[in-house]
Amino acid sequence: MATIPLIRAPRTRAPARAAEEPLIPHRGDRPSLGYWLYLVPGLVLVTVIVLIPLGWNVYLSFTEWRGIRPPVFIGLENWVELFGDQTFWASFRNSVAMIVAMVVLPTVVGLVLAALLFDLIGRRFSGRLASFLRATYYLPQILPVVIAGIVIGWVLRPGDGALNQMLDAVGLGFLAQNWLGNPDTALLSIMVVLVWVQLGYPIVVFMAALQRVDPELYEAAELDGANWFQRFGAITLSIIRPEIFVVTLTCTIAALKVFGPIYVLTRGGPGDSTIVPAYYAYSEFFQAQQVGYGATIATALTIVIGVVAFVFIRFQLSSERKESAS
């Protein structure tokens, strides 16, 4: 689901002048002008499908619109309402839960499992077993996230659901309940779905990153008497830090955007217990027909995502600078 490919542009430190020259030799003065023609289709499409709708949506957040008669400009009314809206705040509180389920737990557990597979199982047992386990951890990642939701939703069915029946079978029947229908357990159940889906992603990325770790560094640290945890902290973590950064950034953005599992499993309920911003905006657009207000929620979500990305990237750049300075 939230697998955004981890590709970083190569850092080119070529002289500035050479970098401005097209790679194909040219005749004449304005070599790069003709290349703009190749950008025309892409720029037209991105303008029509992304930029105009984005601007329009921001405008709609200042209007009242039920989708039929023309929108009425109402200034900041939607925004004022938004700040006092309990449901809106509940949706962002639930986003924090989504971040725990999609970022914090998978990254921490993923680091442990990746190190375990790479260092211990791959080296001391068998490389093939390590690959097999990695593929198993990754399995839920290949599903469309709504299908993943349906799979876990099936296990958690109320009444005769598989989890309830298994609890019954081991004498814990008193724990059985309507997992997704009970406000106390619904959010937790959604989090379980997301952890299940998300765990394989950091494992695969971190294991690929671990290949970069020079075994000789480990040997040296071992000779100096460092134990496994010290080596892990001092060598492994610092070497795979770029991957940790990209995984946490992309997964945080994905966690803020969660929609599918909520739609198929709880529709935000019971009450507001599992509502998230994306679902709240969707329901305002298409169920409440409050397009202006839905646009306000969507704009607020976009701002939050922008701020998160900005803070992350600033933090990454400053820590990189500190590192290269020291």
Interacting residues with another protein between 266 and 285 (CB under 8 A):
277-278, 281-282, 285
Tell me the Ramachandran region of residue 64: left when phi exceeds 0, alpha when psi lies from -120 to 50, beta otherwise.
beta
Taking the complex as a whole, how short is the minimal distance between the CB of residue 22 and another protein, in angstroms?
5
Per-residue mark of binding to another protein, 110-149 (x: CB under 8 A): ---x--xxx-xxxxxxxxx-xx-x-xxxxxxxxxxxxx-x
**Can you spell out the DSSP letters for 83-121?**
HT-HHHHHHHHHHHHHHIIIIIHHHHHHHHHHHIIIIII
- Give, as ranges, the residues between 71 and 110 that touch another protein (CB under 8 A): none
| CB closer to another protein out of 19 and 325 | 19
d(CA 282, CA 295) in angstroms, rounded, equals 9
Closest listed residue to residue 186, CA positions, set 160, 152, 139, 162: 152
Taking the complex as a whole, how short is the minimal distance between the CB of residue 324 and another protein, in angstroms?
18
**The pair of three-digit structure tokens given for residue 291, joined into one six-digit string:** 């397009």
The answer to the question of residue 245 lying near another protein (CB under 8 A) is no
| CB closer to another protein out of 90 and 247 | 247
Per-residue mark of binding to another protein, 20-39 (x: CB under 8 A): xxxxxx------x-xxxxxx
**Can you spell out the DSSP letters for 14-35?**
--HHHHHS-SS---SS-TTTTT
Among 14-22, 73-81, 83-91, 316-324, the segment contacting another protein (CB under 8 A) = 14-22
Binding another protein (rule: CB under 8 A), the pick from 96, 108, 166, 234 is: 166
Cβ-contact 213, 285 below 8 angstroms: no
| CB closer to another protein out of 90 and 210 | 210
Taking the complex as a whole, how short is the minimal distance between the CB of residue 322 and another protein, in angstroms?
23
| CB closer to another protein out of 215 and 325 | 215
Residue with tokens 């739609």, as numbered in its chain: 263
